[in-house]
Amino acid sequence: MPQSPYLEDQSTTSYVLPHSPVRRARSALRDDALRESPGRAVVVLHPVPVRVRATAGLAIAYTVTHVLVESDGDGPYSVQWEPSWLVHRF
């Protein structure tokens, strides 16, 4: 609520916007993605560079049908399950 321009009404407090949510750590995002795996996930000990569509990333886990790919390219950091037929190894 904006403050009144009148001097006698200066006792009102100004409204403060709430803080934006804190960015979650990369490890927390990975853990959440592993919990939501489409099947039983197998974690890769050494991440492998892969390409999904036109985006480069690292394969960090896989199931029978999907691969967990983390990418930190031009956009924000993301971790998501991709169908294995879309993932190509470099």
| Domain carrying residue 60 | 39-90
- 46, containing H or E segment: strand 42-52
Q: Report pLDDT digits (tens) over 51-80.
A: 998 889 999 999 999 999 999 877 788 899
Q: How far is CA 40 from CA 46, 47, 61, 62, 73, in A?
A: 19, 18, 10, 8, 27
What local confidence, expressed as pLDDT, does residue 45 receive?
85
Instruction: Decide if pLDDT at 44 tops 50.
Output: yes
Q: Is residue 25 part of a domain?
A: no
Q: Is residue 49 part of a domain?
A: yes
Q: How many domains does the chain have?
A: 1
The letter for the amino acid at 38 is P
What local confidence, expressed as pLDDT, does residue 77 receive?
87
